[in-house]
Amino acid sequence: MKKLLLSIILAITACICFSSFAFAETVYPSNSAKSAILLHSDTDSVLFEENADERMLIASTTKMLTALVVLENSELDEYVEIKSEYCAIEGSSMYLMPGTSCTVGDLLHGLMLASGNDAAAALACHVGGSIEGFADMMNERAGELRLENSHFVNPHGLDAPEHYSTARDLAIIASEAMKNERFEAIASTRSITMNGLTFINHNKLLWNYEGALGIKTGYTMAAGRSLVSCAERDGLRLICVTLSDPDDWSDHAALFDWGFENYRYENVLPDGELARIPVISGSMESVGVAAERELPLLIKTTDNVEILYELPRFAYAAVSAGERAGVAVVQINGEAIARAKIIYTQSADIRDGMRLSAFEKLKRAWDLANRYGGTKYGYYF
């Protein structure tokens, strides 16, 4: 009876363990946002999303696109005359004075660090001729990025019925903007002193989170707390967006932690020479082969990565460096997901005076194949 009871308990335990393994699901960190997304910047792969396509008010996260359009259409050392109407814009300010002049570079720092609405107006009118003209430029750039749920009517993000975006669209804007070196330098600046005033970046993650690179905070009563941030560790660059999130700092840190713990972005192909291929009738007995280029891939830390090399057992002279030798097939969890060209790294001309009969070539090929075959690389032939 005891043995029977023990067998039943063991069977139930095995079933529970099997069920837990078979039906285990990815556990995402919880967050307080109405809309959120975590994006891998280099591939635009979405690692996590929640209600990411709902059109929402976005407050000063608007200024990411403002800064990008300005950078693409002006120079940092251009001077902008400050008019009284710029200084009358409500909300956050970098305290511009009418009648003075500032460089585009200074205004961009005031825009991104202090979230200056006055800076936004000054830059918009300088580049677009007017607020409306600049908004047209913003929407044109959004169209180039294929943003389907965004529309802009001003450069600062103050609430307006036709001014909206989504967490997904903002992540795409942020990813594109961070490819601009000047944008990244400004967005990641912690503090700067200009004209006797010191401006501190509103993004607390720059101080509190390892690898943080900016990007933009935002808040209005109607929009709530909005935050777009970027962080990078070990070559893995992530973009996080939360909209209407009362606990955004903690939520971004948790999402970044989860992303860095569960993913990596790396070159999956070995560096340097992969193998040597015997050369028949060549001036060299064998030539090296290597990957033509790096093949960086976004990989889950739990993924099983295998690389199979389709290479010839031998080559006939002449062989030229850079010529295609074969292909590397990358498999993740048994599924082929990428291929890369393998090339010869050396040249081998036909050996002087080498004239072999067909039978001699076949015999030499057989001998060389036996000598060099069966390597650790698992060739397909």
Task: Give residue limits of the domains in the chain.
Answer: 35-263, 275-372
Confidence of residue 363 (pLDDT cuts 50, 70, 90): low
pLDDT given at position 10: 36
Catalytic residue among 115, 229, 244, 281: 115
C-alpha triplet 258, 263, 269: angle, nearest 5°: 165
317: β partners: none
User: Residue 252 corresponds to which tokens in the numbers above?
Assistant: 């971004």
**Burial class of residue 264, CB neighbours in 10 A (0-12, 13-18, 19+):** middle
Q: Which of 38-42, 161-165, 261-265, 278-282 has the lowest mean pLDDT?
A: 278-282
pLDDT exceeds 60 at position 13: no
**Confidence band, pLDDT 50/70/90 cuts, at residue 360:** low
Query: Omega into 318 within 30° of 0, i.e. cis?
Result: yes
- Active-site annotation holds for 63: yes
pLDDT of residue 366: 63
Structural tokens at position 161: 């019925």
Catalytic residue among 63, 92, 216, 229: 63
The answer to whether 60 is a known catalytic residue is: yes
* The CATH fold of domain 35-263: Beta-lactamase (3.40.710)
Query: Of these residues, 35, 41, 60, 286, which one is catalytic?
Result: 60
pLDDT attached to residue 29: 84
pLDDT in tens, 170-189: 999 999 999 999 999 999 99
Are 80 and 101 contacting, i.e. CB atoms less than 8 angstroms apart? yes
- Looking at the DSSP bridge assignments, the partners of residue 236 are 233
* Dihedral angle sign, alpha carbons of residues 154, 160, 165, 167: positive
Reported as a pLDDT band with limits 50, 70 and 90, residue 352 is confident
Q: Which CATH class is domain 275-372?
A: mainly beta
pLDDT at position 375 is: 41
Give me the mean pLDDT over the 107-133 stretch. Answer: 97
What does the radius of gyration of the chain's CA atoms come to, in whole angstroms? 29
Q: Note whether 35-263 and 275-372 share their fold.
A: no
Mean pLDDT of the 70-94 span: 96
- The confidence score (pLDDT) of residue 282 equals 85
Tell me, what's the pLDDT at 5? 37
